[in-house]
Structure 1
Amino acid sequence: MAAETVFTYAAPGLKFGPGASAELAHDLAALGCRRVLLVTDPGVLATGAPERIVDLLRAGGVDVEVYADVHVEPTDRSLQDAVEHARVLSRVDGVVAVGGGSSIDTAKAVNLMLCAPGELMDYVNAPIGNGQAPPTDLLPLVAVPTTTGTGAESTTVCVLDVLARKVKTGISHARLRPTLAVIDPELTMSQPAGVTASAGMDILCHALESYTARPYATFERKRADERVPYCGANPISDMWAERAMSLLAQSFRRAVTDGGDVGARTDMALAATFAGLGFGNAGVHVPHANAYPVAGQVREFRAEGYPGDGPLVPHGMSVAMTAPESFRFTYSANPDRHVRAAELLAPGVRCDDAVDLLPTALTELMRDIGLPSGLAELGFGADDVPALVEGSLAQPRLLSISPRPVEADDLATIFSRSMQNW
C-alpha cells in the first residue's frame, strides 16, 4: 500500500474586521448576485442584525427574500422545510447566511437542493444517507457568522440531526464550502455568555482535533479524483490550529465573563476563523464523532441562552463533554503534539504525568467558563453508553481521522469516564 504524498488545502474568500458586513452589497455584486435568499434564525433575527443587513443590501440594489425559521441544531425535517420554502421563490442567484452554524449549515443545504436533483438524504454521509456527491456547482453562498465557534463559514460540511435515527451526521463535499466568509466581530457582541462558552469550545476542539489528527502521509495514496476535503493533519492546518489555540488562551475566559470586551470578541472571531481554516482541511476526529450521539440522544437537558424549547445540547458543548478523555486516549499516538497543545492552551500547566496535561488544561477551562461537569449532568448514565457508542461508530468518516484506531471498547471507556470530568 503506497502512502499518500499529497495534501490539499482550500478556503473561502475571506473578509474580516469590524464593519465588514456593511460591504455585503458590494461583495454580492462582485459575485453577480442581484436576487438572494437570506437565511437566519429567530434568535439572530431578534438582534436586529439581519434587518440591518437587508436594508443595506436593498439600498445597494440587491433584491432580498428572508427565511428566518432556521432550527437551532438543524434536523433533516428543519432543513427540508427550509428547502421547500426556497423552492417556491422565483429564482435567486445567491444565498446569504446570517447567524451561527445552524443558519450557515441550513443555507448550505438550501443551496445544495436548489441546484441538485433528488432528496436531501441522497447527499447525507453514508451509512446514514447515500453519500452522493453534488453533480454540479452551486450558487454563490456568502456566510456572515454572528457567533464565534462553528467555523461553518470555512468548511465543506453541513451538520444535521436525523430524527428517526436519533443521530447527528452531515453532508460533506467541497462544493458546499461558502464562496465568501464575511466575519464582522461587531455582530458577535450580543452573544450570551453560555453561547460564547459552548461555541468557544467548538473552536478549541476544531483546533485540537485537527492538530492531533492522523497525519495526511499515513493514509493510503489516492487518485486525484478520490481525495476528500478532510485529508489529515498537514503543515498548513497545523499553523492555523496553533494560532487559534494561542488566541483562545488569551481571550476565551474574558469573552465569557465580559461580553462587552471588544478585544476578546475580536480574538474569538479570529480564532474561530483560523480553526475553521485548519479543520476544514485536516478534519476532526473522536470528540466530534462522540458529540453527534450526545446531541442526538439527549432526553431532557436544555442549555441556557438558546431560543426555542425541548431538549438541546449545543454542538460545542456536546463536543467538549468527551474531549478530555478523548485526548487522553489519543495521547500515545503523538505525545509531543499533545503536550505542545496543552502548553499553547494553558501556559505553565503542570501534571505528574504528561498524558494528563491536555485533559487537565481542558477541564480547568471548562469549569472556569461554566460548562456542565460531564455527561451525567446532561442526563446520561452507564446504561446509555452502548447507544452512545453505536452513534459514534456511525461516524466512520470522522473516526478514520483519529491518530489511533478506535474500537467500540475504546469509545465505551471514553464515554464512561466522561460521565464526570471533575
Structure 2
Amino acid sequence: MVVACVAPTARTRALGLLRTVQYTHPPSCPCHGQPSHHHNHKHSLTNLFKNGNRGVTTPTDHAGMKEYAFEMAASSIRFGPGSTREVGMDFANMKAKKVVVVTDQTVAKLRSMGTAIEALEKEGIKYEIFSDVRVEPKDYSIKKAIEFSKRVNGDAYLAVGGGSVMDTAKLMNLYTCFPEADFLDFVNAPLGKGLPITKSLRPLICVPTTAGTGSETTGTAIFDLVDKKAKTGVAHRVLKPTLGICDPLNTRTMPSAVHASSGLDVLCHALESYTAIPYNERTPRPTNPILRPAYQGANPISDVFSFKALQMTIKYLPRAVRDPDDFEAQSQMLLAATLAGVGFGNAGVHLCHGMSYPISGGNKGYKHKGYDVPHSIIPHGVSVAVTAPAVFRFTAASNPERHLAAAEAFGVDISNVRREDAGEVLSEALKKFLYGLGDQPKGIQDLGFNSGDIAGLVEGTIPQRRVLMLAPNLNEDVTPQREELSKLFEDSLAF
C-alpha cells in the first residue's frame, strides 16, 4: 500500500490530521461519540497509518459483519453570484450537441431560466425545454418527463429549479440511459426492486433556485409512489450531477414561505446526518463496493459538512425568512444547503425523513401558504420539520453528546445539562426555533392528520428501510418498531 511508504515525519503529520478530523468536538468522531457502542478495535484508518499494510486483509466472509469503510461522493460545485452565465461554456467544454433543459412552470418565467438559456444560445448549444415538472413530483409526472427525455434523446441535461426539478432531471437521465428498464427497477427496496445502476449516465448540470434540498450535490431523487401513498425514490452515486452551479442571484425571487420550508429541509438534513448511526455500525458489509449504499451513516468527513450547515442554518434562516432583501442571509442559506447536501448525501438521513414520506404522500388536501401551485401541497421541508422535536427527543439516548452539541448550536447553555436530559433540551430548542420562523405548522394536526391516522402513517414509514436503518435508538424488529413509530407520530400531533 502507498500508505506504508510514508516517511516518518509525513506519517506523523497525517496522523495528526486524522486525529483532528476524528476527535475535534464538535463534531466528534461518530464511533467514540457513541457511548452506547463498544468497540474492540481501533479506527481502521488510523491503523493503516500506524501499521502500514501489516496484517491488513480484505475480508471475504461478510455475513453479519459490520461495515468497515466509508466513501465520499459529491458533485463538483461552483458557487458565486452570476455564475449561471457560465453554463453554456460548460456544455461547450463537454462537447454537448443537444441539451435537455428541465424546469417547472414558475421557474420558466424567472430570470434564472432566462440567463441559462442565453448562456446556451451564446455558445450555439441546441436545446429542448421540458417545463412541466410537478412541485413535489408524483410517479406519473416523472414518467411523463421520462417519455419526453427518451423522445428528445439529448446528450446532456440542465436542471434549473428546486429539488423537484433536479430530482426529475436525474430520473430522466437514468431511464433514458436504461430505456428498457421497468420504472421500479432502480427504485429503493422494498417499494421497488433496488437494482444497482451499472453504468455512467449523461452529463447533468444543476442550477438550484431554492436553498434547501442540496440535490445539486447528491445521487438521490425522490417522488411520490401514488398507489402506495408513500414517498420513495432512487439513490445511487451515479445519479449525482456532474456540476452544481450555486448562484445566489437565483434565490432572490424565493417567497418567504419557500425560504422557510426549504431551509427547514436543510436543518433536518444537517441534524439527521450528524446524529445518524456511525458508518461502522451499519450492517451488512457489502460484498462488492458497487453495493455500498449512498447513505452510509455518520462519518468523520460528513460530520464536518453537516455540523457547519446546522450552525449556518440557525444563524441565517430566520434572517432570510424575515427580510426578503437580506441577500447575505439568502446567499449563506444556499451555501448551507449545499454543505448539508454533501453531509447527508454520504451519511444519510433517518427518522424525520422516513416519517415525512407518508405525511406528504397521505396529504388530505393541505396547501401550504405562499406556494403558487394549482394543487394541495405539504412542502418537503415542512413534512420533515413537524416531527423533529419528537424525533430528537427519542434519538438522544443513543448519543447524548452529539445532541447536546446540536442544542449548543441553537444557543443553549449546556454546561450544567445532564446527559439524560439531552433529548428534552434539544427538543425544546427546536420548538423555539420553529416558533420563531412564524407561520409554520406546529405538528401534524395542523396538516390535517389526527390520532386515527397514526396507524396508516406508521405503515407508510415501515417500508422506508433505506433511512430507518440509519436511525439511532430505533428497534430493528418490526413489531417494537411499529410501537416506537406510533409513539413518535403521537408526540408529533402538536408541539
Amino acid at match of 1:97: A
The CA distance in 2 between the partners of 1:225 and 1:106, in whole Å, is 24
Q: Give the drift of 1:358.
A: 1.4
- The match for 1:403 among 472, 477, 482 is 472
What is the SS of the residue equivalent to 1:306?
coil
What is the SS of the residue equivalent to 1:158?
strand
Q: Give the drift of 1:93.
A: 1.1
Q: Quick one: percent identity of the two aligned structures?
A: 41
- The match for 1:391 among 447, 452, 460 is 460
Is 1:225 the counterpart of 2:290 in the alignment? yes
The CA distance in 1 between the partners of 2:115 and 2:380, in whole Å, is 28
Show the counterpart of 1:254.
319
Cα deviation 1:82-114 (Å, max 9, x = unaligned): 11112222x311000000000000001100111
Maintained 8 Å contact 1:87/1:114: yes
Is 1:83 the counterpart of 2:146 in the alignment? yes
Matches within 5 A, 1:231-380: 231-348=296-413, 353-369=421-437, 370-380=439-449
What is the SS of the residue equivalent to 1:114?
helix
The CA distance in 2 between the partners of 1:129 and 1:225, in whole Å, is 18
Q: Give the drift of 1:325.
A: 0.4
Q: Give the drift of 1:249.
A: 2.0
Give the gaps of 5 or more residues in structure 2: 1-63, 476-480
Amino acid at match of 2:491: R
Matches within 5 A, 1:133-144: 133-144=196-207
Maintained 8 Å contact 1:249/1:346: no
The CA distance in 2 between the partners of 1:308 and 1:250, in whole Å, is 30
Maintained 8 Å contact 1:150/1:199: yes
The CA distance in 2 between the partners of 1:401 and 1:83, in whole Å, is 31
Report which stretch shifted further, 362-371 or 62-71. 362-371
Amino acid at match of 2:401: D
The CA distance in 1 between the partners of 2:380 and 2:81, in whole Å, is 26
The CA distance in 1 between the partners of 2:442 and 2:429, in whole Å, is 14
Q: Give the drift of 1:359.
A: 1.1
Q: Give the drift of 1:165.
A: 1.2
Q: Give the drift of 1:219.
A: 2.0
Maintained 8 Å contact 1:160/1:170: yes
The CA distance in 2 between the partners of 1:200 and 1:401, in whole Å, is 22
Q: Give the drift of 1:158.
A: 0.7
Show the counterpart of 2:486.
412
- The match for 1:17 among 64, 77, 80 is 80
Amino acid at match of 2:181: G
Show the counterpart of 1:110.
172
- The match for 1:381 among 446, 450, 468 is 450
Amino acid at match of 1:392: T
Q: How many pairs are equivalent?
A: 420
Report which stretch shifted further, 300-309 or 35-44. 300-309
Report which stretch shifted further, 128-137 or 95-104. 128-137
The CA distance in 2 between the partners of 1:136 and 1:33, in whole Å, is 19
Is 1:183 the counterpart of 2:252 in the alignment? no
Q: Give the drift of 1:309.
A: 2.3
Cα deviation 1:166-186 (Å, max 9, x = unaligned): 111111111111111110011
Q: Give the drift of 1:128.
A: 1.1
The CA distance in 2 between the partners of 1:186 and 1:358, in whole Å, is 34
Show the counterpart of 1:123.
186
Report which stretch shifted further, 310-319 or 127-136. 127-136
The CA distance in 2 between the partners of 1:295 and 1:305, in whole Å, is 17
Q: Give the drift of 1:348.
A: 4.2
The CA distance in 2 between the partners of 1:71 and 1:219, in whole Å, is 35
TM-score scaled by structure 2? 0.83
What is the SS of the residue equivalent to 2:157?
strand
Show the counterpart of 2:130.
67
What is the SS of the residue equivalent to 1:28?
helix
What is the SS of the residue equivalent to 1:357?
helix
Matches within 5 A, 1:122-201: 122-201=185-264
Q: Which has the larger radius of gyration?
A: 2
Amino acid at match of 2:144: D
Q: Give the drift of 1:192.
A: 0.6
The CA distance in 1 between the partners of 2:347 and 2:162, in whole Å, is 22
Q: Give the drift of 1:322.
A: 0.5
Give the gaps of 5 or more residues in structure 1: none
Is 1:39 the counterpart of 2:102 in the alignment? yes
Q: Do the aligned partners of residues 225 and 106 (structure 1) sit closer, same or farther apart at CA in structure 2, a change above 3 Å counting?
A: closer
Amino acid at match of 1:373: K
Q: Give the drift of 1:10.
A: 0.8
Cα deviation 1:29-57 (Å, max 9, x = unaligned): 22232310110001111223212211221
Amino acid at match of 1:393: I
Maintained 8 Å contact 2:393/2:422: no
